[in-house]
Structures are given as C-alpha cells and as structure tokens.
Structure 1
Amino acid sequence: MMNCIFLGSDITSHAEVNTLPIAHDEYAPLDDQFGGASCLVGGNPYFRPFRKNDFQLTMSLLRIPILLYTQKFPGKPNDISFGRLAKWKVLDRLHSQAWADFERVALEMPADDFFMVMDGLMHRSEHHSILDDYVKGGSSQDLIRLIRGHLNIHKGWSIRTADWADEVSEDQWKEFYRHLDLAQEDLSGTFEHPTFQQYAFMSLLFIARGKGDKEAGQNLYQSATTQFAESPQIFQAYMNLMTPRWCGSAEEMLEIAKSQSGGLRTLGLLMYLVEMYSEYFYEDYLGAKPKFRAAHQDLFVSWAKDFNIGEDEGFLTIYTRNYLACVYNAFGLKRECDQVLKSLAGNISDWPWIIFGPENARDLKLYRMAGIV
C-alpha cells in the first residue's frame, strides 16, 4: 500500500503543508505555464471552455503550435489502455478483421484489462472506423451490442460538441439524444459475460449523466452494485454523475465517498477534492489554488493518513494515483505531484485531467513529468 502522505514525502502535519509554496507551479496541468491557452484547444466533449479573459487566452493560444512542435514538447498521445491494447494485440486483430480472435480474447481478459482496452479504443476516435467494421462483421451479439452502444454515446457527444448548453442548436440536441437513446437500447438488458454486463452498467451511467437523469443514474447504480459492489469503474462513473456540474452536489459526492471502504473510499475522497478544485478553477483559474488550499487542506491532511492506494497497475490504482497527483497539483505541491506521476511510469489517464481542458497541452506536460519524453 502506498505510504501517506506519499512516496517518501516528509509532509506529516498541517503546519508543514502550510510552508510549501503555491505560486507559479510549473507542474500545473494548464493554467500557469500555458496561460490558460489549452482551454481553447481541441474537442473534449466533457470540457466547457472559459468565457472570460479572452484576450489573454487568445494571445496565449498563439504559443501552442510552437510548444507542440519543439523537441521540448514533442506531440505524443497517451495510451489510456495502459499497454493493454498491445498486450492483447487488439489493434492487430481488428485491423486484420480477425473477428473471432478478437471476440475470444475479449472473453479471456480480466475485467480491468477489458475496461482499459475498451477505453483505449472508444476514447480515441481514430479507432472508431475499425470498431464500426467489427460491428458489421462480428458474430458475438453481446460484444457487438456493447461496442455499438458505446460508440453511439461518443457519436452523440461529437454532435452535441463541448459548447455551452445555450449554444447548442435544437438539431444538435435532437441528434445527441437520438444517439443516447440508440446506445441505451443496446446497453440495456442482460449480458451473459459478467465483464460485459459490468461495462454495460458503466456505459448506462454515462447515458444518465448525458441526459441529466439523476433518478435513472441512482437506480442504475443500485442495480449495478448488487452484482459488482467493488467495481471501481462503476463507482467512478457514478461519482462523475453525482458531481455538482452534472446531477448531484458536493455533499452527495462526499457522502457517497465516505460510505465506501478501502481503495474505493480513497478514490472517492480524491474525486471529491478534484471536483471542489474545479469549482474554484472555473470561477477564477488564476486564484484557484490559494482558495482551494485555504478551504480544503485540513480535510486532505486528515484523510490522507488512512488512504489506501495499491502498488499494482490495475484500474483502481492507476486512476487513484492520477487523482492524487491532480490534488497535489491543486494544492501547489509540485514535488509530491511529480513523484506520484513518476510512480505511474507513463500511465497517465484522461480523468481527472480532462476536467481542466483538452488533451494536447496536458498530455505533453504530463509525459514530460513522467519522464517518458
């Protein structure tokens, strides 16, 4: 289990935390070094761009192409399958249209590996065409339903875009909901393979979030946890549904997190802290860290003594460490953030960093910190 506070850090008290600097944190994923510019780059469907400081952000935006194409910040997308696509030779099987072989390994994978493979496929649009080919040519109806359903979620979001709700056209809303309804048709009902059923529950929670249907999400979570009580993927999806920006509140998030034990409790508390930081970030991103530090560092120090973080490379450990690094960053603790990122050995997840802006600038900085570029 990971030592708290972590990775050899000698920070053990409120007073010691107070002595650490928070100004101009070079490890901030977005705000300081990039001047907020990356908030205007890319097409993250879960990200809502700033509407203030337009001149500053636009001028900073001009720096991005330079940073992207220098040796110091080489463009290199992160692998959110965390090596599982390569381990199971998934892309080779799909590109060669070895459908039966792909279906066989999908059944053989441990649940964590299956979720990571699916993330690596679904959340990178360059893979969607080969998944469409599989849907047309495969034979496993359960796997076809699962993939087609999740693809429709992504297609819906690509049509809706990341614009503010009042900037989305009526036609966009109609197509968005149409795709979510199509996804729901595929993902509802039962799946024979337990891992497929678990993935379907998680995907249905994504749909509930997209529709803003809190009651449906709560009912889904109750049903899902009767079968998969310890699923970090279902828990993470539910916590994201219950954020203040979607269907819940800070109080509900904290209550859900505290109702868990072990690693899920740790992940939940860190997700709560990241969400609280995001509230400050979107209100006043230049002043977010001092405000967050003043409001939440006592809670963090008290909770951290009981954090339970594994040493493996499973889904729960990888995401918990990414959230921990994000929380350290939010407190301005760049040494601790750097240590956690290095411990991840390149396993940088989209969440929670995706909350604060699109991928390019973030990925470049995180890869640099992780020591793999």
Structure 2
Amino acid sequence: MIPYSSFYFFFILGILLIPIIVLGYKEKRSIIYYSFVHLVILLLVFVSDIHQLLSFIVYIVWQSILVQWYVSYRKEKNESYVFYIAILLSIMPLFVTKMLPLFELTNLIGFLGISYLTFKSVQMLIDLRDGALKTLALKEQLAFLLFFPTISSGPIDRFKRFKKDMETIPTKEEYRLLLYQGINKIFLGFLYKFIIAYVINDRVIETPFIQGHTPLATFIYMYAYSLYLFFDFAGYSAFAIGVSYMMGIKTPENFNLPFISRNIKDFWNRWHMSLSFWFRDYVYMRFVLFMTKKKWIKNRYAVSYMGYFLLFLLMGIWHGIALHYIVYGLYHAALIISFDYFERKNKQLQFWKKNKITAIISIIITFHAVCFGFLIFSGRLF
C-alpha cells in the first residue's frame, strides 16, 4: 500500500495516532508505542509485496552494517578512499535498482522509498566524515531511517535536526500548536492531492483531446501537467509533514509557492526544497570546495558551472536512467548557468531594473521556463 493514497490508510493511521496525541498533551512520549506504530505502518506498506518487504529488510540491514562499521572506523582513521568506498557501497542498491530497467530485467531489489533512504544514509556517512557527527548509535540511525511519515517520498530531513526533535519532548502548549498545524497540513493535503490534482488529471490530462498529442494538446498538457505535479506532490508532502508534526517531529517544508519564483534560482529555493538543498549541500558545495582546493581550474565561474551541471545531471538521473530525465536535468543546469551569467552582467550594466513591472515579467518568464522543463520531465516530447 502506498502511504497517503487511500482513506483506508488514513483510517488506520488515525487510530494509531490517538495514543501519541494523548501522550503529547501529557508532555510524554512512549518509545515502545512509537516503535510499534512504525512497525505497523511499515508492514502495511510492504506486506502486500513480499519482494519489496524482503528487499526493504535486506537494505536496512545493509545500510546499518555499513554506517555502523564506518562509525567505528572513523574513530581511529579518516582515509579518503575508505570514505568513497563506503559512499559507493551505500549508493549501490539504488544504482542497481535504477539500472535494471535498462536491461529489461525484473527489479527484485527495489522498493518504495529506496531513493529517500539512500539520501539519508549517504548524508550520515558524509556528516561522519566531516566531523559534523562524532558518533551515531544504531538505534538513532534506525529511528532516522525508519521514520515512516517521510519514508516513501520525503521531505528529506537532516539527522541532527531530527535527533534534536526526538530528544526534546514538546510542552503541552508547544504540542497543541504542532497538533493544530499538523491537522491543517493534512486538510491542505486532501485539498491539493485528492481534489485539485485529481480534477486536473481526470478532467484535463486524461481527456481524449489532450491525449491526442497535437501541438495545441501538448501546449495545454504542459501547463496542466505542471500544476498537477505540484498539487499532487505538495499534497503528499503536506500529509507527511502534518503526520510528523502530530508525532512531535518538525519535518522541514518541501514547497513554498514555487510558481511565483522570480528566477530559476529562486524556484529551486521553493520547489522540493529538501531535495534541492540536499544536492546543493552534499553535491554542489562539496564539488566546488574540492575543485577550489585542488586548483585544477582557476576560474571560479567555470568551477561553479561545472558544479551546476554535475548537480542537475545527478538530480535527473536520480529520477531515472531515461533520456527525458537526463535532458530535464541538463535543461535546468543550462537555465541556472544562463541566469547566473545574466545576473552578473546586470550588476555591471544595470539594464534590468528591480521594480514591480520587472518582478511580474520575471515571474511570468520563470513560470513558462519551469513548465517547459516539466514537459520534458513528463516524457511526452521523446
């Protein structure tokens, strides 16, 4: 069962959350019951497919052994090659999962949420390498990996932030606010996912005319699909964040009015924020620092642009090893680089003044550029 996809799921979840809400009002938290709820939900998600369930269990065991071994190793040594091997081993299950469809092989090792769990595991390894994490107990690692509200599609949390929430029990007043915000998020999720996204998909995208692939149909499809993608994914994120709040965990936001972005950089600070910030911090920034340290390329703009191409290429491949995903990633890399060049020239020449008119024009241009990117992403063009 896919989380948040049916009222049956919400019914079971609602019953399971009642004791957590009661304990929250009493400024208490039961780790035993907390673990029980996670076990029930995870079984509910995976029990219908024995292959996914076994793959999930093997994956968790694999990542647990790998990360805990690196924790022990890091206490004594910090060799770069060992770190890179650990990263490759952590990514390997996801890589194999993405590659199997290319060879038309049955995917027996993939499962719902493998991408997001890999982000968490890689994040922990990098933080251990950098010294941001001095130690990491197995129970802390499992609590972070198995946090069910975000396990299938994020948002991608950070371990240190998550750990702080787990170790802090909200006061009655704090929990009342979290509960209120969580319920509002869940109602917003219903509005987005089950009403707006459903109507767009059923009444526009799935109609015979739009499926006809004429130029006009494709033009309408581009905007309809973009809106559908936002409301469907933002609805899911609202569910995940809302349930997290009800459990006393302040999972980060994933969307912040992305379609009013004034430029493409602003868009990626508003769209799927937990993913874009993860790639920014753990891919782009690390690449730029590495290249700056090595001094192989002295032009800092060239290094930055290479970093953008690497970032968005990986982001495209993360969605799948298909041509339209790769082109989607490269398209956004080109947009980011073009805007960066435009922004630098504008600082020198001041030809694009900042006022209400240029702000509106910027929003319109960015919206259309983003929608065309989603058309590429949809696979309808090729």
TM-score normalised according to structure 1 size: 0.29
Higher relative contact order (CA 8 A, sep 6+): 1
Q: Which has the higher helix share?
A: 2
Structure of greater Rg: 2
TM-score normalised according to structure 2 size: 0.28
